[in-house]
Amino acid sequence: MAMALRLIKRNLGFNLLPLSSSASLLHSHATSFGFKEVQEEEKSQMVSNVFSSVASNYDLMNDLMSVGLHRLWKDRLVSKLSPFPGMKHLDVAGGTGDIAFRILETVNSIRSRALQDPCYDPLQEETEIYVCDINPNMLNVGRKRAIERGLGKDKSLIWVEGNAEALTFQDNSMDGYTIAFGIRNVTHIEKVLDEAHRVLKRGGRFLCLELSHVEVPVFKEWYDYYSFSIIPALGELVAGDRESYQYLVESIRRFPNQEKFASMIADAGFRKVEYENLVGGVVAIHSGLKL
């Protein structure tokens, strides 16, 4: 029997896999981790390792990599959301709290102005902002930052460890959904979009801020040089982690372009889908409504 198998391999020119290996491959699919191809079941752990590694320096590196522009991009995202007192909002991949803090600050500002109205009843409004992240280290950074901002005891902020592809929130439970610099790291973008649509109420808005694709030729050449030469070097210098930031720039190039991503949002059931390019397409804000 063994001799027969060797003859078959020699004549057909390939190696036969053990039955157990071939069976497992039938149920496993490849996906991208930067420019690498990995098995789907491996990617989530690899991404988790990246963010566990960068968590403590995440906000500092965002400032350095974007020269502080990420703050303006996030402000723009929240302005499109139009937060309001009493809203139920879900911020996914938001561990360090950057988006959630902005939403809460906007709500508090609106509430402060409303308090001047004698007819205003603040007890009617219970704002709930859920910060959902798959990585506990990122959530810990967010909780610490909330305490530093005096928001640690604010019951409006609710920290949840969870997977964007399989949310634990009820159907039609959220007024808004945001995800900033997170969706390109998931294994199945379609599942994330389906879950976003499921948890939103009718009339709820989906907003995604993500690093995207530059099309202007001269700017694209400069941006590619900056991405592949400067950002990994910064990661090594500041965070002692070149590989995680190499993954970062590679993952941007593997992410769908603006038009393709807009069509994926529409396929998930969202309507009035549109996007706005910022800094020539370095980042884009996509939005859609659940009607």
Whether 276 and 284 have beta carbons less than 8 Å apart is answered as yes
Q: How far is CA 272 from CA 2, 113, 194, 207, 216, in A?
A: 63, 31, 16, 12, 26
CA distance 239 to 59: 11
Per-position DSSP letters for the chain, written without gaps between them? -HHHHHHHHHHHTSPPPPHHHHHHHHT--EEEETTEEEEHHHHHHHHHHHHHHHGGGHHHHHHHHHTTHHHHHHHHHHHHH---TT-EEEEET-TT-HHHHHHHHHHHHHHHHHTTSTT--GGG---EEEEEES-HHHHHHHHHHHHHTT-TT-TTEEEEE--TTS--SPTT-EEEEEEES-GGGSS-HHHHHHHHHHHEEEEEEEEEEEE-----HHHHHHHHHIIIIIHHHHIIIIIS-HHHHHHHHHHHHHS--HHHHHHHHHHTT-EEEEEEEEGGGTEEEEEEE--
Is 93 annotated as contributing to ligand binding?
no
Is 163 annotated as contributing to ligand binding?
yes
Query: Which residues contribute to the annotated binding site?
Result: 96, 133, 163-164
Query: Which residues contribute to the annotated binding site for S-adenosyl-L-methionine?
Result: 96, 133, 163-164
